[in-house]
Structure 1
Amino acid sequence: MLLIGNGYLVTRSAVNSFIKGGCVALDGKKVKEVGTTDDLRKKYPDAEFIDAKNGVIMPGFVNMHNHIYSTFARGLSINGYHPENFLDILKGQWFRLDNELDNKMTLASGRVAYLDSIKNGVTTMFDHHASYGEVDGSLDALSQAADEMGVRTCLCYEVSDRNGEAQMKASVAENARFIKAVAQRNDDMQHAMMGMHASFTLSDETLEYAKSFTPEGIGYHIHIAEGISDVTDSLQRCGQPVVDRLYNAGILGKQTMAGHCIHIGPSEMQLLKDTETMVVTNPESNMGNAVGTPAAMTMMNKYGLTVGLGTDGFTNDLTESYKFANLIHKDHLADPNAAWGEVPTMLFENNPKMANHYFQTKLGVLEPDAAADVIVLDYSAPTPITADNINSHILFGMNGGNVRDTIIGGEVRMRNRELQGIDEAAVYADAQVQAQRLWDNINK
């Protein structure tokens, strides 16, 4: 038994959503109960106790869209790279990077990304991988890294036609193999999807080929209309909008996750709603790539879509994305009232709800039988903290650096900002070796 108490307990549960001087009791991989610190310490006097020291205790964050392979782009300079648009960014940087990634690099980047997630309070991550330098076994490398760090993860490989038929088929095979492999684990720590890049790099034949290897109950993790090039390609080559094309190909559905959805129209939003397709937005990445702002407020308020929040490889700190999402929609709509309710719903409600399309243990809440995924944040509030204003305190007063303790599945992964059972220095030393090898290959 493990108790985490003496703090402001934010349970995100319909009952007892906020307890001052609160405590959560963990029994194995799940939450046993919540209550006041005094009550639970009396009830479980022999339990190990983590003192939140009047900080904030809350469920771990869920990142619904990441690209671990982007880890080694930090500080990278590519000879002759001067992008003028999003397509230039893809071809000039990301496609060149993933064409050189091998499994040693993938493993090293995975260790860093999952380690950094722990430090930022992210306990569950959905990743969208590409490493055309070595496809076979690449998801195993990420799986190994996730196991070593103890982070929940859902993985897929990015199927694309951009490197020819042989590598397209290899990427489908990697997805199919890994989907079967994680089904045998039965530990609810890892799951899998069929990954796809985007409509403009996928032929009709490839869509059908990938579908033939996708088991029932497994959906697709795909970018939709992130850049305008995706839209023009679908209209010119296929005679229909991107969402319509994917709907007709049988790609949409309640297990499918659509990344970005920036350049889609009302009828496409309705199709996403009709098929119960999940949408995940990535504000920092969108701003960095200058691709535009998705109509997330319209998707949520008019069409009732389930819209979540991801980082798209830009960061592993979801509180950063929370802040940027709050700002980008206000700025885009020129409306200071926009996004106050919708963005917290994305992060604190929709992300766990979406993740639970794959993970069986209830995520994103601290209540009996939910996942024992808990984080403690150092935070000295200059104003009172209440159930009504906790989201405002997180938005304006906290970031990933405030995370002091991270518990995943009942296992303490970070305590007092020290990673448990992980040689952080060794992880970063190996990462620098592998990153330099990658950079040398890119610029050779």
Structure 2
Amino acid sequence: MKILSADYLLPISSEPIENGAIAIDETKIVAVGTTGKLAEKFPGAAPENFGEAVIMPGFVNCHSHLEITAMRGFLDDVEGDFYSWLMKLTLTRGEKLTEKDVEIAALAGALEGVRAGVTSFGDIGRFGKAGFEALKTNGLRGVLFQETEFSPKNEDAENDFAKLKDKFLDLRETETELVKVGLSPHAPYTVSRKLFERITDYAIEKNVKITIHVSESNQEKDFMESGAGFFAGVYENLNLEWNAPHTSSV
């Protein structure tokens, strides 16, 4: 057992504790209080004092894309235009970055998170394995959400779901106590209605966590509410059918 102490401890669920400490038994926090009280309660524990510092729970990044960490700064010139941003990201990830590039980027992003105090991630990835392995390698906790590809055709839903399921099950074989796998139907404008239904039914049946991108841009809003705008043009150019639900994504 050991006792970690500092000038301040932030339990979050209660007021800050001056000269605070936590007692740790192997991998579990078993007590929280002042340094003096914990030293009395656990006289045999090994002490470690961090001095002028704060001990607090780790941060949670509930929506990350570790696999595109290498693009930091690369998209800044188009961040005000969602269409340009999306196209630049998609083309670069699909045509420029190698599988090794993506793996290294994910590792770098996870390590950067550790250094910033992030201990848990909800990471979303097309190349799901990269983020999954990055979380495990860095000893982090989290869920890797395997993301769908561009899958707008109802007639392809079964095949699209089979591919997604294969990726999901491959990752699930090596889940750990800390890192689990979920599913991410990317967004309302990239996933067909039938594929959404298949993913939803499967997630409910198998108790699988899900995350999704919604209401990210005015272009999405126009497409969902009226069937017009940028995404309507994309669908038309690809000869894809779209029946707008005439409601917001939310």
Which interval holds the TM-score relative to the shorter structure?
A: 0.7 to 0.9
C-alpha deviations, 1:159-209, integer Å up to 9, x for none? 132698577753443134434542xx3x2x012221121101111122133
1:96 equivalent in alignment to 2:85: no
Mapping of 1:127-206 within 5 angstroms?
127-130=123-126, 138-161=127-150, 169-179=162-172, 181-182=174-175, 185=176, 187=177, 189-206=178-195
Matched to 1:58, the amino acid is: M
1:73 shift after superposition: 0.5
Mapping of 1:10-89 within 5 angstroms?
10-14=10-14, 17-76=15-74, 85-89=81-85
Q: Report if aligned partners of 1:8, 1:21 keep a CA contact under 8 Å in 2.
A: yes
Q: Secondary structure at the residue paired with 2:186?
A: strand
Q: Secondary structure at the residue paired with 2:143?
A: strand
1:70 shift after superposition: 2.2
Matched to 1:227, the amino acid is: S
Matched to 2:82, the amino acid is: F
Matched to 2:105, the amino acid is: S
C-alpha deviations, 1:4-30, integer Å up to 9, x for none? 11321111125xx32111111111221
Q: Structure 1 115/143 Cα, relative in aligned 2: closer, same or farther at 3 Å? A: same
C-alpha deviations, 1:83-106, integer Å up to 9, x for none? 872122101x21113214443223
Equivalenced residues, count: 228
Q: Structure 1 195/20 Cα, relative in aligned 2: closer, same or farther at 3 Å? A: same
Among the aligned pairs, what percent are the same residue? Answer: 24
1:229 equivalent in alignment to 2:227: no
RMSD: 2.8
Q: 2:114 aligns with which of 111, 118, 123?
A: 118
C-alpha deviations, 1:320-370, integer Å up to 9, x for none? xxxxxxxxxxxxxxxxxxxxxxxxxxxxxxxxxxxxxxxxxxxxxxxxxxx
Q: Structure 1 66/77 Cα, relative in aligned 2: closer, same or farther at 3 Å? A: closer
- Name the larger-Rg structure: 2
Question: What TM-score, normalized to structure 1?
Answer: 0.47
Q: Report if aligned partners of 2:68, 2:106 keep a CA contact under 8 Å in 1.
A: no
Q: Report if aligned partners of 1:126, 1:154 keep a CA contact under 8 Å in 2.
A: yes
Higher relative contact order (CA 8 A, sep 6+): 1
Q: Which residue of structure 2 lines up, in the alignment, with residue 9 of structure 1? A: 9
Q: Structure 1 233/74 Cα, relative in aligned 2: closer, same or farther at 3 Å? A: same
Question: What TM-score, normalized to structure 2?
Answer: 0.79
Q: Report if aligned partners of 1:62, 1:125 keep a CA contact under 8 Å in 2.
A: yes
Structure 1 residues not aligned, in runs of 5+? 131-137, 244-267, 269-444
Q: Structure 1 20/82 Cα, relative in aligned 2: closer, same or farther at 3 Å? A: closer
Matched to 1:233, the amino acid is: F
